[in-house]
């Protein structure tokens, strides 16, 4: 599991001006001001687009107990989020995943670990809450709740602003490969991710 680096405790809090510049302008947060792409998968896991620092406080007031970002620790907005979560006392983790590329094996395995271990209710997000978050939601529903894969895959849909004909369709290739392996051997999704999954072979 990747840490959110650098540690928010080691850096000064972001000023309101920095929040405006980094989140609202550079990261196009103004597009997410009214549209949150927020949906509850169940009482334990919620999906979202990248929340603003103020939205993080509102999510906590709604009962959220942890935040999982799929955007990785390097982006300035991720460091800002880590700092905001630290100020709220809200556990925060991050994994480096991309919407238009298959996740590395370590990231996929780390996702299973985060889904299992993080305090609940947990909020999962990427930037728009559509592609990477849709994949994570699919995995949660199928691997942890036992929802049939065909039904769970509806988390990757236009309803959530996932474009199945665009470059992010590569994420569906991962699910297709697992579905084929499961049909042949009955392997679980998590065992497949740990022991079989090879992103290079699917790219």
Q: What local confidence, expressed as pLDDT, does residue 16 receive?
A: 72
1 assigned to some structural domain: no
Contacts of 33 (CB under 8 A, 6+ apart): 24, 52
Tell me the per-residue pLDDT of 60-85, one tens digit each, with 9 for 90 and over: 999 999 999 999 988 788 888 998 99
- Average pLDDT for 33-49: 93
Angle formed by the axes of helices 170-185 and 132-139, nearest 10°: 20
Look at residue 1 and tell me whether its pLDDT is greater than 60: no
The percentage of residues in the chain with a pLDDT greater than 70, rounded to a whole number, is: 89
Distances (CA, A) of 9 to 5, 66, 117, 149: 10, 17, 22, 40
Q: What local confidence, expressed as pLDDT, does residue 11 receive?
A: 59
Task: State which residues form the domain around 32.
Answer: 8-202
105 assigned to some structural domain: yes
Tell me the per-residue pLDDT of 85-108, one tens digit each, with 9 for 90 and over: 999 999 999 999 999 999 999 999
- What band does 4 get if pLDDT is binned at 50, 70 and 90? very low
Per the structure, how many domains does the chain have?
Answer: 1
The CATH number that applies at residue 21 is: 3.90.190.10
């Amino acid at each position: 599991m990747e840490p959110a680096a650098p540690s928010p405790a080691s850096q000064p809090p972001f000023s309101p001006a920095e929040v405006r510049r980094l989140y609202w302008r550079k990261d196009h947060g103004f597009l997410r001001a009214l549209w949150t792409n927020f949906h509850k998968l169940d009482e334990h896991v919620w999906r979202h687009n990248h929340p603003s620092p103020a939205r993080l406080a509102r999510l906590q007031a709604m009962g959220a107990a942890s935040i999982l970002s799929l955007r990785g620790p390097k982006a300035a907005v991720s460091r800002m989020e880590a700092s905001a979560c630290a100020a709220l006392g809200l556990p925060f983790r991050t994994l480096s995943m991309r919407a238009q590329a298959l996740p590395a094996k370590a990231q996929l395995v780390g996702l299973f670990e985060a889904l299992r271990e993080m305090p609940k209710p947990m909020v999962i997000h990427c930037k728009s809450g559509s592609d990477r978050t849709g994949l994570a939601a699919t995995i949660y529903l199928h691997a942890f709740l036992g929802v049939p894969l065909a039904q769970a895959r509806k988390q990757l849909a236009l309803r959530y602003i996932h474009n199945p004909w665009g470059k992010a369709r590569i994420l569906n290739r991962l699910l297709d490969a697992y579905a084929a392996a499961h049909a042949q051997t009955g392997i679980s999704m998590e065992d497949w991710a740990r022991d079989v999954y090879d992103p290079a072979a699917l790219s």
